Amino acid sequence: MTEPVLAAEDLRVWYGTERGPVRAVDGVSFEVHEGETLGLVGESGCGKSTLGRAILGLLPRGAAMDGSLRFKGTELVGLPRKELEGMRGPELGLVFQEPMTRLNPLMRISEHFEETLKIHEPGLGKKGMKERATEALRHVGIPPSRYDHYPHEFSGGMRQRIMIALTLVLRPAFMVADEPTTALDVLVEAQILRLLGDLRQNFRTAMLLITHNLGIVAEACDRVAVMYAGRIVEIGDAREVFAEPQHPYTRELLASTISLHTTGLHSIPGAPPDLADPPAGCRFHPRCPDAMRVCEQREPVPVRLETGQVTECWLHGPADRIPENGTEPLEREAISVADEA
């Protein structure tokens, strides 16, 4: 297999607070290869967006990061801010959610492209900038005749296409798409997903797709990483994970998804833990229907299964690390709806 475009190993990101460090990303490892899309899913507050912003060097002041994050062999952790800023755009791209909040309503679309290209490719010239910009717009299905229009003259779906074109115009090798279909109707959502798929095939762009929507992952991603409380608890081929989820949290997420065959609503009891003070052992054990004694005593270790998935769950061992009586079911009071409120 070729060298990954992006590789994280034991990556950690935390925020300093009066209560102590908030461990938003706490020891995650993954790889993304050329032309591959990795979906990142999990409940709100699990660390997905923090991970995406850490890759791009967009963490706020007061945040810290350690571990390893390599982009095409270059270590990003500890890289001077100025060097990382120079990589952002030409090498590392970002597609935000809610494009209307990212496009300046007082600037024409042409001015957005010119501003971007002047910063990163100042020698391109006015004519070259327009050619590059209109080419990028054509790739996302927007005719060059709309080049001098204002953002308010476009629909929500077309504005999101413009955001993708603004990322594409610099031809990055890796792109983070953070909830790119939020607030779009299902028809426009499908169009955006097809567009992202076309970009992957035509430009071989590697992509991290952050979303709450498991249906999007099933349709648009090659592999999926399931995140809970700052950890990636399961990662593997998207079809394998959806067909045979190995971690209880993944199973619970899939069971909570509504489909045409849904006859009753399902939810995961309880709430995600406080990342300033996460529970001992497995972080999911207070909510897990399969929790055992070992789950509250020891953090699970990553195990590669025969199906190809890597999961952090004591249900899969390793057996030699489980203490005596560790497989006994964990006794606790059932979590009620009232407790959740």
Q: Which residues contact 188 (CB under 8 A, 6 or more apart)?
A: 155, 156, 157, 160, 181
Maximal C-alpha separation, the chain: 73
pLDDT band for 102, please (50, 70, 90 cuts).
confident
Read off the pTM. Answer: 0.90
Asked if 212 contacts 261 with a C-beta cutoff of 8 angstroms, the reply is no
pLDDT greater than 80 at residue 339 = no
Note whether 157 and 194 are within 8 A (CB). Answer: no
In this prediction, residue 246 has a pLDDT band, given cuts at 50, 70 and 90, of very high
pLDDT of residue 6: 97
Are 92 and 86 within 8 A, CB to CB?
A: no
pLDDT at 92 over 80: yes
Domain boundaries, the chain: 106-162, 263-340
Query: Using an 8 Å Cβ cutoff, are 133 and 169 in contact?
Result: yes
The burial of 333, by beta-carbon neighbours within 10 Å (0-12 exposed, 13-18 middle, 19 or more buried), is given as: exposed
Q: Which of 109, 206, 205 is nearest to 151 (CA)?
A: 109
Which pLDDT value is given to residue 335?
46
Mean pLDDT computed over 184-212: 84
Mean local confidence (pLDDT), 116-135: 91
CB 289 within 8 A of CB 332: no
Average pLDDT of the segment spanning 191-203: 81
Query: Quick one: pLDDT band at residue 334, thresholds 50, 70, 90?
Result: very low
